[in-house]
Amino acid sequence: MERVNNLSIFFISSNLNEYKIEFSVFLISFLLAYVFMHRWNQRNVKGPKSWPFVGVLIELLMNYHRLHDWVTEYCVESKTFKVPLPFTTVTCISDPANVEHVLKTNFYNYPKGEAFHTYMEELLGDGIFNSDGEMWKQQRKISSFEFASGNLRNFSTTVFRDCALILSGILHQASIVNKEIDMQELLLRTTLDSICKVGFGVEIGTLSNELPDNHFAEAFDYASSNVAYRFVNPLWRIKRYFNVGSEASFVKSIQVIDEFTYNLIQRRRAELQGVKSTDSNRNNMVKHDILSRFIKLSENPENNLTDKSLRDVIINFVLAGRDTTASTLSWFIYMITVNRNVAEKIYTELISFEENQANEVIGYNPEKEPKSFSERVTQFASLLNFDSLGKLSYLHATITETLRLYPPIPLDPKGVLKDDVLPDGIKVRAGEQLSYAPYAMGRMVYNWGPDATCFNPDRWFNKEGLFQSESPFKFTAFQAGPRTCLGKDSAYLQMKMTLAILCRFFSFHLIPNHPVKYKVMTTLTMEHGLKLTVTSRQS
């Protein structure tokens, strides 16, 4: 009997092992067949090849350090392509017709979306760049009113000129001793000081010969880099939950950012109440800032503006006024160092401008030569205002050409509310994401012709020699449709004010073998800065 039982157990065990083997073979065969069919179905699909479960995540992570060039390479193959990821699919577009459909024609079907809001919430909160619906409309309306203000424009002109003069002083001192400088760092300080003055009515003084440490700027840069990586890292929520690694550092950076912004709000509110300032003239001037307008509106409970709302306003305007402008200025300086003919044409235009403008200014005496370099720069700067800067058409074209090839926001993601069909026939599904790619669009032959990758400011002039704009759905540096950048004119004003002074009085020389490449962040920032030397123009 015992022998029979042992034999039974033996046969049962043998059968179980056989079943396990058969099941394993079946499972492996099924997976291989699934992978084969998945790949077979994609044999004619444009874009990166997708794999089961992980999509194109592995290829994307391998190319993350060069993300925008990776997107560009696939945009060359197809104006629209899909990027399947573990939890979503991203449709990338570079065709102006598709961009117009997304940003204007069917605007409300492509909001920032829940996914984008989740990734960016701790940094941008519910600010204008991270909100939709009524919350976005309210902030847009208030901001639009402020940017249309003549007082704000005049105030901005003064602030931008003052910051540019401080920067020119630092560059002149560097030129005397042939000191190597990081131009991007100086420009980031310039734009941070100016946005804090124009936007929030406070002077923080990061731009000085001493170049004091700026923990807020460092924290902001780290946070921007970290949230950008969240878009391709499906494990970020786990790291955030356990507060480890990059997410733990991100939390600390947000604490620094919040401390800076809430202190700024308290300081601004106290100044407006006259607690810390008794100078009525100073109060009258700084009340033109945007934060003051929001603080005043927060006094009405119906507007539902809390200190958290004000904090979000500040951070969103820092992103718009500091990072994007400094990015463009940095790439501009880089491009004129490698395109000396463009630098000389700008210099020639500025010399001619100075001569012509001096004759139009009452009381301006060009025969009375200033004694010092600083006096010469200050005298030239006095000729610069909103109207006179409009005469510098080649400078304007060079800035615009820089924006075409190096847009400050190189990739702009959107959510998809409902199923839709793009003008080129590609279907997008509700719950997915869609991104238009300004960086890639500026390099497409089908958008800009055979010289699309060449830096050529002359492309912006018509046959009569007049500057000619392009469709905002083709030249997307400032978005288009209802979300068109409100600060476009202000950005051009600051960039032209700064660059007119710098290009008139300085030549820039890139440090040999210095690597110039972008770091993947929310804005197109140079990873290693812009290291160069500078020489003063004496004539």
Q: Report the C-alpha gap between 357 and 153 in whole angstroms.
A: 21
Q: Report the C-alpha gap between 92 and 108 in whole angstroms.
A: 18
Determine the Cα angle at 437 with ends 87 and 313, to 5°.
Answer: 80
User: What does the block give as tokens for 78?
Assistant: 């197809």
User: What does the block give as tokens for 364?
Assistant: 């301006």
Give the full edge-to-edge strand order of the sheet including 506-510: 181-182, 531-536, 506-510
Q: Report the C-alpha gap between 434 and 111 in whole angstroms.
A: 10
Annotated binding-site residue? 92: no
Contact between 440 and 75 under an 8 Å Cβ cutoff? The reply is yes
Q: Report the C-alpha gap between 511 and 181 in whole angstroms.
A: 9
DSSP H or E run through 524: strand 524-526
Q: Which residues of 224-239 are buried (b: 16+ CB within 10 A; e: fewer)?
A: bbbbbbbbbbeebeeb
438: helix, coil or strand? helix
Name 7's Cβ contacts closer than 8 Å, sequence gap at least 6: none
Q: Token match 């090849």: residue?
A: 49
Which amino acid is residue 188, in one-letter code? L
| CA proximity to 191, closest of 225, 233, 163 | 163
Q: Report the C-alpha gap between 28 and 108 in whole angstroms.
A: 45
Contact between 245 and 220 under an 8 Å Cβ cutoff? The reply is no
**C-alpha dist (Å) from residue 100 to 103, 423, 476:** 5, 9, 10
Name 305's Cβ contacts closer than 8 Å, sequence gap at least 6: 294, 297, 298
Q: CB atoms < 10 A from the CB of 367, how many? A: 5
The annotated binding site is made up of 485
Please state the residue numbers annotated as binding site for heme: 485
